[in-house]
Structure 1
Amino acid sequence: QASSLCPECGGRKIIQDGGSGETICGGCGLVIAEPAINTGPEWRAFSLNEKENRTRVGLPLSFSVHDKGLATTIGPIGRDALGKSIPRETKYMMFRLKKWNNQARRNASVDRNLSRALGELQKISEKLHIPSIVQERAALIYRRALKNGIIRGRSISSMVAASIYVACRITQTPRTLEEVARHSPLDKKEIARCYRILLKELNLRTPVPNARLRVPKIASEVDLGEETQRMAIEILDEAERLKITGGKAPMAMAASALYLACRMNGETRTQKMLAEASGVS
């Protein structure tokens, strides 16, 4: 039932007939609305597993794929939908269609640029173990740079690495410039230059790095317990309250707090171990 009024008698007893799809007044019998289109599925599911197996929708849009996942992909050729072998003439025709389809997907220079750049972006992201949401943000930043003409005349690899680093800084994902450069074919200096270009040309603002978010990353490298990590975060909170963290490197502050927490909690970790895990001296 709905709470709207009937235009004929003014009654409030409005009935939605699920069988016919009509909206009827329960008082005078007036058909207020004609059959509505049911946009739901025609099948029923009694469990979450059945619902996932019966759904027929595709993957969501992804900025980390050069065509955003909307292109048609022709799979392996050789058998039909029933598993039977297809004739040779049909097979040759499908090979030609697959070739033309792949060429059409990368026909424009922008598509070829995105195809190469986003493939490299995915490789670096996998090596850095970056979450998919950060990878999507990096791909979106690269697309904006390509649209604004910032990529022209510059190395694709350097702009991809810089986009990843910008996305990590914006999302507060603890990845240093040295880590990004380690998995990129270019050096740290070139990536830093492209990083500054992206910030200036795209008018991006990165938040101040938080040392507390670096604690779990360093602790996992040297196998520290939860109690020590909580103690290190408390030390950083106290240091921030006393305003002695200004101008200090967040990774160095996190490593120092973890070292103090190890001494206080009785866990044996040397300064060298924490320095190597954090990438600072």
Structure 2
Amino acid sequence: MSRFISQLACRFHPEASLVEDSRAGDMICPECGLVVADRIIDVSSEWRTFSDDTNSWGNSRVGAAENHLLGSTNLETMIFSPKGTNTIQQPRQISTTDRALKRGYDVTRIMAGRLHLQKRVVDRACECFRQCYESKCVRGHSENAIVAACIYIACRKEGADRSLKEIYPVSQASKTEIGRCFSKIMKGLSEANRLRGIDVTNLIPRFCNNLNLDLTQEMHVRKASIYIVERAKDLCDIQSRAPSSLAAASIYLACLATDERKTLNDIEQVTDVKASTIQQ
């Protein structure tokens, strides 16, 4: 087709570059307006959305991508009746399972948004929620507690560690119930049993940022805190301590070492660790 078009030329102006009218399919000479060729077929892709909205045009010729977290509700086809009749075949209603999953995914996204989590963590939490729903391992617990436990598992799997003390305030569920859901998920799902431990060094940068320190001073406190934690692992047994408590204690010691005036109450507010626990 392109070779055919390149051979076309106006007999009055052979050197003129022809203009293509894509709407009418004509090749027109810009000098004299002579239609050199007509009814030319456009072989390029058709980017029509075929949507009911007349203003919705874009580079999409198909429907939405398949959502592996739901069933086949987004792969159905609408079949309309022949012309002249008023009846239209109704689409299949969403199933009870997909409705419950979609509601759980919405709660997961809302809760993850409050924690400022990345999309990969949200997707992992939604996948964990789907597995919990299908296995029925946490039946009887509130939806908020189940979602919070799934987010906690997803954070640990994706290396975006969050403590339960950070998650339960945004979940509207008690920390005890979230812990029970977490234990049942660990027992009911084999994949969840391969969780790595929380890395304290992943908690320290976020806690230091919440202290509202000067940028340079924050870097010093962060580096000193990580160094303190690494040395503590070599010198004593800290495996039995909660990661948030270790992070809080290391930040407090780092503030003392760098002459940063932060009290135990300041550390307690950003880490949610009691001052008495930090001193121990």
Q: TM-score, normalised by structure 2?
A: 0.64
Matches within 5 A, 1:107-256: 108-203=95-190, 204-205=192-193, 206-224=195-213, 225-256=218-249
Asked if the contact 1:221/1:277 (under 8 Å) is kept, the reply is yes
Aligned partner of 2:267 among 267, 271, 274: 274
Check conservation: 2:70, 2:101, Cα contact below 8 A. Answer: yes
Tell me the SS of whatever aligns to 1:207. coil
Specify the SS of the correspondent of 2:159: coil
Q: Is the 8 A contact 2:66 2:75 kept in 1?
A: no
| AA matched with 1:142 | F
Alignment of 1:3-18 (within 5 A): none
Q: Is the Cα–Cα contact under 8 Å of residues 174 and 217 in structure 1 kept in the other structure?
A: no
Deviations 1:105-124 (A, max 9, x none): 52x22111112111111111
Deviation at 1:189, TM superposition (A): 1.5
2:136 is paired with a residue of what secondary structure?
A: coil
Give the Cα–Cα distance (whole angstroms) in 1 for the partners of residues 72 and 118 of structure 2: 18
Q: Residues 175 and 105 from structure 1, CA distance in 2 versus in 1: closer, same or farther, beyond 3 angstroms?
A: farther
Q: 8 Å contact 1:66–1:118 — kept in the other structure?
A: no
Task: Give CA-to-partner distance per residue, 1:153-177, whole Å, 9 cap, x none.
Answer: 4433322222112212333323222
Gaps of 5+ in 2: 4-43, 46-57, 79-85, 275-280
Structure 1 residue 192, shift from structure 2 partner: 1.2
RMSD: 3.2
Structure 1's 151 and 112: CA in aligned 2 closer, same or farther, altered over 3 A? farther
Q: Deviations over 1:29-56 (max 9, x none)?
A: xxxxxxxxxxxxx78xxxxxxxxx9687
Q: Say which one has the larger Rg.
A: 2
* Equivalent pairs, count: 207
- Between the aligned partners of 1:258 and 1:68, the Cα distance in structure 2 is 50
- The alignment-based identity, stated in percent, is 25
2:221–2:258 Cα contact (<8 Å) kept = yes
Runs of 5+ consecutive residues of structure 1 not aligned to the other structure:
1-18, 20-41, 44-52, 75-91
Q: Secondary structure at the match of 1:241?
A: helix
What secondary structure sits across from 2:197 in the alignment? coil
Q: Secondary structure at the match of 2:227?
A: helix
Contact kept in structure 2, 1:161 and 1:184, CA below 8 Å:
yes
The answer to whether the 8 Å contact 1:59/1:69 transfers is: no
CA distance in 1, matches of 2:152, 2:73: 24
Q: Which residue of 2 aligns with 1:85?
A: none
Q: Which amino acid aligns with 1:187?
A: S
Asked if structure 2 preserves the Cα contact closer than 8 Å seen for 1:71 and 1:105, the reply is: no
CA–CA distance in structure 2, aligned partners of residues 57 and 230 of structure 1? 51
Deviation of the 1:186 alpha carbon:
2.4
State how far apart, in whole Å, the 2-side matches of 1:110 and 1:248 are.
41
Deviations 1:8-32 (A, max 9, x none): xxxxxxxxxxx9xxxxxxxxxxxxx
Instruction: Answer whether contact 2:108 2:126 (CA < 8 A) is retained.
Output: yes
The one-letter code matched in structure 2 to 1:270 is T
Q: Please give the TM-score of this superposition, normalised by the length of structure 1.
A: 0.63
- Structure 1 residues 275 and 58, CA, compared in 2 at 3 Å: closer, same or farther? farther
1:58 is displaced (CA, Å) by 7.7
Q: SS of the residue aligned with 1:209? A: coil
